[in-house]
Amino acid sequence: MKAINPTSGELIRTYEAHSEKGAEKIINSVDKAWQSWRSVPFRNRSALMLNMASLLRSERDRLALLITLEMGKVLRESKAEIEKCAWVCEYYAENAESFLQNEPISTEFKQSYISFQPLGTILAVMPWNFPFWQVFRFAAPTLMAGNTVVLKHASNVPGCALAIEELFREAGFPDNAFRSLLIDGKKVESLIAHPAIKAVTLTGSTPAGRSVASAAGRWLKKSVLELGGSDPYLILEDANLDEAARICAASRLLNAGQSCIAAKRFIVIESIFDEFSRRFTTRMKEAVYGDPCHEETTLGPMARRELRDELHDQVIASVKQGAVILTGGMIPDQTGAFYPPTILSKVKPGMPAYQEELFGPVAALISARNEKQAVEIANDTSFGLGAAVFTRDVERGRWLAEEKLQAGSCFVNDMVKSDPRLPFGGINESGFGRELSVFGIREFVNIKTVAIR
């Protein structure tokens, strides 16, 4: 299993993949660890999770560099990712016990209540774009709930996968409470089928989600899926255009545009379309792309060349169908998987830029006659992960976010983002189930009724 630097194209390191027997041994070890971990008191679990938060912060620079070298994220963003992992560890260390305390229910019984009990060993199939955060936002609540974890990470970030396993060990968790498997993605179904695996979570593409959901259904195991998105951002006629352009550009370029909740479709009321386009283009052009380890760089390479080439194919296909490039749109003549900030205007239904997820620094500008049509365009997608609306009328924005936009997370006058305190997940082809907050920790527990006459 090879880790390739997307900035230089050079081999970082080759890792030996686990054999089928090796993977079997690890899963059985993790399941055995669960038998004792499930009974560890919350105060003890919390102490270990706080150790983890402290360890992440003390090792931030080393871990951030590993992220940047393996998948190309700008170094300052990698450092912010590690800090966010420490935050989610602290959040569940402080709140897990109250989230999972017994809930009394008034019935005709002498006593009746709901108890939340761990399920066992949970399989996590995780992506490369946020190689630490995606894992920790699942692992922190799952471990605090008394479950154990087997991680199948993306094949291009094996160093991150093994580093996370070692961090849990260094923080004082039992040796087999969290283990990483270096295996090919084609073997995930056999992992799901393993009797010791009680549930599975996946963050990834919609096709990957279908495959995992199918296998989980076949073996009757709980699954949570956080999949792709084509997040619409509505810019209404009364929006603060400078603020909207700044936030929209930041959301589109974060992590080189490789985020499921990045802004992707910008739906602008036609009366302000030209002015917003001008300001948005200026903001996008301000990005400095280059070596992600350099301080002045604001846009690193994409994670792999083939992903960059697939994105460019989507741009070219959209242009052939009538889209117009306002900036970017050309593969730079340099080493690495770089792609420039790109804006496509005159985007219409049927184009890849309208119908598909653009997983890279490419923005689709779409004109709408009025608010009603803007909402119709926003909801004209198979996805449903996030959405945002920009308006000076906060009540108008709140109503649109709550009542009209069809997505799991809807923001007003800000970019869509994840937060340990708020539930996160999508609808439709963006998946099902929720991560984070009280809802996330309750996904992988047995919600048990206890009644006593």
Q: Which amino acid is at 419?
A: D
Which of 345, 365, 327, 338 is closest to 248 using CA atoms? 365
Measured distance CA(209)–CA(228) in Å, rounded: 9
> For 387, what's the count of Cα atoms within 13 Å in the CB-facing half-sphere?
30
Beta bridge partners of 335: none
Q: Please say whether the beta carbons of 149 and 137 come within 8 A.
A: no
* Angle in degrees, CA 383, 387, 390, rounded to 5: 155
- Collapsing DSSP to helix, strand or coil, 427 comes out as coil
Using alpha carbons, list the distances in angstroms from residue 258 to 28, 224, 255, 305, 308: 35, 21, 5, 13, 10
Spatial distance between the Cα atoms of 239 and 241, rounded to a whole number of angstroms:
6
Q: Number of H helices and number of E strands within the chain?
A: 15, 18
Q: Both tokens of residue 413? A: 């006058």
Token pair 């970082």 in the structure block, residue = 12
| Residues contacting 329, CB < 8 A, separation 6+ | 315, 319, 340, 342, 344
Written as six digits, the tokens of 191 are 């992992």
Distance CA 341, CA 149 (A): 38
Residues 6 or more apart whose Cβ sits within 8 Å of residue 370: 269
For 219-372, strand residue ranges (E) read: 222-226, 231-235, 263-269, 324-327, 342-345, 362-368
The DSSP string of 19-43 is PHHHHHHHHHHHHHHHHHHTTS-HH
Which residues, listed in sequence order, are joined to residue 343 by a DSSP beta bridge?
A: 327, 363
| Residue 293: burial class (beta carbons within 10 Å; 0-12, 13-18, 19+) | middle
Residue with tokens 């992590």: 255
Distance between CA atoms of residues 69 and 402, nearest Å? 40
List residues with catalytic annotation.
226, 260
Contact at 8 Å (CB) between 339 and 353?
no
